[in-house]
Structure 1
Amino acid sequence: MDFQDKKAIYLQIADYVCDKILLAQWPPGVRIPSVRDLGVELEVNPNTVMRTYDFLQQKEIIYNKRGIGYFAADDAIDRIKSYRREQFLETELPHFFRNLYLLNISLEEIEERFKAFIEVEFK
C-alpha cells in the first residue's frame, strides 16, 4: 500500500479496511484479518494496525470477539458512509468550494461533469 504524507498512516489503513467492507470483500459479521496478518499484508508495524482497529472500534465499525478476532459490525456499511460523509463535508468540501470560487467554475459546469462521471464510472 502506498501511503500519503498528508494523512496519518493509521487513518489511511482505516480507509483501506472501510473500502474492503464497502466492497463486500469483508462483509459484516465475517472475521477480518488479524492485526498481525494485516500488518504483514500492508508492510506496517502491527502497533499501527492495532491503532487503526482501536479507532474503528470507537466508531463502532468493527468489534472484537475475545480470542476469536475482529469482525465488521452488522451496520458497518451505514456507519462508514455516515463517517465518510461527515469527513467530506467538514474537510474536503470547503476546499472544493474555495477552488470553485477562485477558478470561477459554475455549479452548472460541475453538475454536467458530475453527471458524465456517474455515467462513465457507475453504469
Structure 2
Amino acid sequence: MEFNETKNIFLQIRDWVADQILQGKIVAGEKVPSVRELAVDMEVNRNTVMRSYSLMEEEGIIENKRGIGFFVAADAKRNLLKMQKQTFLKDELPSILHQIEVLKLNSEDLQILIQTIQSNDHANQ
C-alpha cells in the first residue's frame, strides 16, 4: 500500500480495512488479518496497526474476540456507510459544489454524472 504523507498511517489503514468491508471483500463475522499479518503486509509497525484496530473497535466496525482475533462486526457495513455518507456530505460535497459554481458547470455538463448516479440507483435496487 502506498501511504499518503498528509494523513496519519493508522487512519489510512483504518480507511483501507473500511473500504474492504464496504466492497464486500471482508464480510460481517469474518476474521480480519491479525495485527502481525497486516503489519508485515503493509510494512508498518504492529503498534500502528493496533492503533487502527483500536479505533475501528471503538467505532463498532470490528470486535475483538480474545484469544481468537479481530472480526468484522455484524453491523459494520451499515455503520461505515452512515459514517462515510455524513463525512462526504459535511467535508467533501461543499468543495465539489463550490467547484461546480466556480467552473460555471450546468446540468448539461453534469448529465453524465447524473446518469451514472441513476444507473447505480437501479443496480442497487
Common topology (TM > 0.5): yes
Q: 1:24, CA displacement in angstroms?
A: 2.2
Residue 90 of structure 2 corresponds to residue 87 of structure 1:
no
For 1:109 and 1:61, the matched residues in 2 are separated by 38
Normalising to structure 1: TM-score of the pair?
0.87
- 2:112 corresponding residue in structure 1: 113
User: Any gaps of 5 or more consecutive residues in structure 1?
Assistant: none
Normalising to structure 2: TM-score of the pair?
0.86
Structure 1 counterpart of 2:112, one-letter code: R
Residue 4 of structure 2 corresponds to residue 4 of structure 1:
yes
Q: 1:61, CA displacement in angstroms?
A: 0.6
Q: 1:42, CA displacement in angstroms?
A: 1.1
- 2:35 corresponding residue in structure 1: 35
- 1:77 corresponding residue in structure 2: 77
Is the deviation greater in 15-24 or in 101-110?
Answer: 101-110
Q: 1:6, CA displacement in angstroms?
A: 2.4
Q: 1:15, CA displacement in angstroms?
A: 1.3
What does 1:21-60 align with in structure 2 at a 5 Å threshold?
Answer: 21-60=21-60
Is the deviation greater in 84-93 or in 101-110?
Answer: 101-110
For 2:11 and 2:91, the matched residues in 1 are separated by 14
RMSD: 2.0
> Identity over the aligned pairs, expressed in percent?
40
